[in-house]
Amino acid sequence: MTILITVIVVIVLLFLLGLVLAYNSLVRKRNRTQEAWSQIDVELKRRHDLIPNLVETVKGYAAHERGTFQAVTDARAAALNAGATGDPARIAPAENALTQSLRSLFAVAENYPQLRAVESFVQLQEQLTATEDKLEFARRFYNTNARDYDIALQTFPRNLVAGTFGGFHPFGYFEAEPADRAVPQVSFDGPVRPESPPGPLGPAAGPPPPGRAGPPTG
């Protein structure tokens, strides 16, 4: 009888130990996934902060491209609204749409090779490219952690722990469309054209006047 009780106690203790280990494992995976998402959030905010100044710089040379500028502004606003939800399933499509609008903006910039001589534009382009690279790395890191965490939620005995204790919910993936994983580079063919007086399309060279660009308010 004593041996039987001992065996039962050992089994119960091992079961409880397994639950504790499973719970701690889920907590670690959840925290790691949340930290990975915070890296994406940082890069998205940096991206959103760069866009208004980029738009203003290009607008100084192609003021007539109002449709393109408005599309970028609207896409950025939609991305900010989606970001407020914290839901990757809603954020990813909005960011993909923003990337598409940026492609259109860079396509406009390609028609104005004199922008190559504008230091502010070159710096903004380089910063945006660096941000996109970091965002792609953060996206992959987050998706890997989200996958491991979601698998853990579905495997025994962690699924029992997740069902018993609150706070354990699957994470959505932050997916980018294959064509949207990099912002296109602006390539300028031929020499830089000399400066000329302002024409009907706006100033031909030189940065926009001070005060036109600034940090976003949203």
Whether 76 is covered by a domain: the verdict is yes
User: Regarding predicted confidence, which is higher, 5 or 68?
Assistant: 68
Q: Is the pLDDT of residue 206 over 60?
A: no
202: confidence class by pLDDT, cuts 50, 70, 90: very low
The 10s digit of each residue's pLDDT in 61-118 is 888 888 999 999 999 999 999 999 989 989 999 999 999 999 999 988 888 888 877 8
**C-alpha–C-alpha distance, residues 20 and 34, integer Å:** 21
Give the CATH number for residue 100: 1.20.1440.20
**Are 212 and 60 contacting, i.e. CB atoms less than 8 angstroms apart?**
yes
Whether 205 is covered by a domain: the verdict is no
**Token digits of residue 60:** 């100084």
Q: How confident is the model at residue 216, as a pLDDT? A: 35
Whether 33 is covered by a domain: the verdict is no
User: Regarding predicted confidence, which is higher, 117 or 207?
Assistant: 117
The 10s digit of each residue's pLDDT in 124-181 is 989 999 999 999 999 999 999 999 999 999 998 888 888 888 789 999 999 876 655 5
Q: How confident is the model at residue 8, as a pLDDT? A: 87
Query: 110 lies in which domain range?
Result: 39-180
Whether 30 is covered by a domain: the verdict is no
Which spans in the chain are helix H?
A: 2-59, 66-85, 88-109, 119-154, 158-164
**C-alpha–C-alpha distance, residues 55 and 206, integer Å:** 15
**Are 56 and 212 contacting, i.e. CB atoms less than 8 angstroms apart?**
yes
3-state SS track over 173-211: CCCCCHHHCCCCCCCCCCCCCCCCCCECCECCCCCCCCC
Q: How many domains does the chain have?
A: 1
The 10 Å Cβ neighbour count of residue 175 is: 15
Whether 53 is covered by a domain: the verdict is yes
Whether 18 is covered by a domain: the verdict is no
pTM of the entire predicted model: 0.75
**Are 68 and 112 contacting, i.e. CB atoms less than 8 angstroms apart?**
no
The 10s digit of each residue's pLDDT in 28-57 is 999 999 999 999 999 999 999 999 999 999
